[in-house]
Structure 1
């Protein structure tokens, strides 16, 4: 852990600003997250509309992000990732303020879709961070930015609940909109313009890094597929989780929320440790461990589906979250390392789009399977999907061999 702290200090003050912006802005957007079904139920005229819109209010932003992230990434490569961060925060602020006044379900769904289209903050923030740090220890950097997102989400949901108890759902969205607007102003006023490295030693180091990439990388599409498979496996449980807790354990709501939160807690605690463990490791080494992590996730989700003890179930979720801390941030760092330095925004935007597509697919699969085969079928399904990820990681490990840089074809 001491090594990780030293690396973070080496990033400088810009990292602290990036971490703070991501923590605050993502927390603001999650203030309304758990409570959208309450708002949709209040405005719905029928049970069918509520069922459809209750899913759509979460899926619509994901679809918007998946359609536009690659475009915003290319714009970031051309006009600067800093500008794209400000644009995304301003877009989130405007759409969140508009949503706060929406009184019709279909208008809310439209605004949520536009919110996803205007968003795309995470990818340019990652690309900007890599740019200002010269690509050093990118796995640690991306992991801590992901930690900021997770911690912000947990804190935002709690703050949103406090606001809802004291006021109204409209107040939650208004507060979030103003917070995002303040973040946009802060990013524009404080974040420095990246300065390219011009000295000979820096150019030599970059050349050596790129030569190392050429020897160790696997196809970017393969890394994106593996990332999507592991993310979709987790998202299968997004819709049926609360229903499963009620049917199998007859758990009160606080136990359901606590168990679900343990997944994020495990991620937050373990992700920096995984980042330090994988720092400066070869792609082949990381892929071997990805196979082991996928196997561990498969085993844990099998146990989660078999146990009828809510205490054991909670412990399994904490351990599962710990394993997840070594998946998406590390794989995204590999995707970034495989891309040319001038295309970080485009490649990371594509990665974010792919993650959103995988999330939507996972949510749809989980909702469909639980409806057709019952809630007890979801954990065996997740276990099988993680087993498939294991074989995908092994396949990528076998394909890792000397090759030319493969970031350009994306």
Structure 2
């Protein structure tokens, strides 16, 4: 089996374990604060939960470019293992937290050392033939998506059976397992001697140099807009489900199902759209996916039942499968060899920024427009992004037509 296929299979499993482990804590974070860390006031719990959730993205946004620089200097596998083993230790320490401050600081530290998924994307992209890049990026995305879908479900079941603290130990063990598997089986052709003789650029200088490549600023901006639009309505979807359902019976089940159905279709469509992008080009798939996501978000503001919402959320996931994988494929295509890690790290920062800004702005805008208005705003944002991306990417491609 070619080396790139072995790396893909191993890191597909690694992404699944990492994302499953990282999302296991989502269903019970506020309950952990209340029952194990001693917080009693609901308003205080809400504030702490928001801060703790966002802390990981804040520090990740700041430190990802540094890890990208070091990855191009010392190798992508080293950064993969640094992140995986480091996060496993931090996650276990979260199980020993005795107050909210401990959890906040550990989440910030987790963001500082995070980066397993971006490092996996960078490593696989550097070892994969460019003509298979779309399929590989889609497959890698589906592994992380599958973990993100099953993580909350598994975490909820384990929390009911064993309590909250053991989940952190189990999560740490999953991260450790993913790192060990990657250590044993993943290989990359990285010439550290040659890399050591290259001129070492600062993070800021490296960013400026990469931004001179016409397509990269466009792609990083698209990543931000995608995450901003997708995550804007997310925190309020359970309340929307409650409004549509009209009763508390099986409310948690339906809220969880609505949250996971998008990931299910995303997981299925990512490899298929990635394979199609290898045939017809990544840019057309990206533009069609942006348009499709916009057109499936809009009706969600006007549904009258949970069943209708489920249908549109499933269709949304089908188009989401062609968004971030094609962006990653295009970034690899337009980035010079030897700078892939740095380019993907800046894209990871753009993604983290969207993860932060989307829910915050969504919560603020919902005061004026309601959850229905957020779906409309997100749909319009993706539609405008599609139009702008079509013009911006093609104007920068110029005479270098995509094969």
- Say yes or no: TM over 0.5: yes
**Which residue does the alignment assign to 1:247?**
243
SS of aligned partner of 2:95: helix
1:309-352: CA deviation from partner (whole Å, max 9, x where unpaired): 22121111100100111111101210121111101110001111
Q: How far apart are 1:184 and its partner, in Å?
A: 2.3
SS in 2 for 1:12: helix
> 1:13 corresponds to which residue?
6
Query: How far did 1:359 drift?
Result: 1.4
Equivalent position of 2:87 in the other structure: 92
SS of the residue 1:181 aligns to: helix
Q: Distance in 2 between matches of 1:9 and 1:159?
A: 34
Distance 1:398 1:126, change over 3 A: closer
Q: Distance in 2 between matches of 1:290 and 1:188?
A: 33
Residue 228 of structure 1 contacts residue 354 of structure 1 at CA under 8 Å; is this kept in 2? yes
**Structure-2 residue corresponding to 1:102:** 97
Alignment-derived partner of residue 194 in structure 2: none
CA distance in 2, matches of 1:192, 1:302: 44
Cα 1:296–1:185, aligned 2, differ >3 Å: closer, same or farther?
closer
Correspondence for 2:112? 117
Verify: 1:323 aligned to 2:322, yes or no: no
Q: Any idea what SS the aligned residue of 1:342 has?
A: coil
1:160 aligns with 2:155: yes
Structure 1 unpaired stretches of 5+: 1-7, 197-216, 405-410
Match of 1:202 in 2: none
CA drift at 1:159: 1.9
SS at match of 2:234: coil
User: Aligned pair 1:277/2:272, yes or no?
Assistant: no
- What TM-score comes out, normalization by structure 1 length? 0.86
Q: 2:389 aligns with which of 366, 387, 393?
A: 393
Partner of 2:196: none
Is 2:13–2:178's contact at 8 Å kept on the other side of the alignment? no
Q: 2:15 aligns with which of 14, 19, 22?
A: 22
Aligned match of 1:237: 233
Normalised by the length of structure 2, the TM-score is 0.87
Alpha-carbon contact 1:132-1:195 (below 8 Å) kept? no
Aligned to 1:361: 357
CA–CA separation in structure 2 for the residues paired with 1:154 and 1:292:
24
More off after superposition, 26-35 vs 132-141: 132-141
Residue number in structure 2 paired with 1:67: 62
Partner residue, 2:201? none
Size of the aligned set, in residue pairs, is 374
What corresponds to 2:51 in structure 1?
56
2:344 aligns to what SS in structure 1? helix
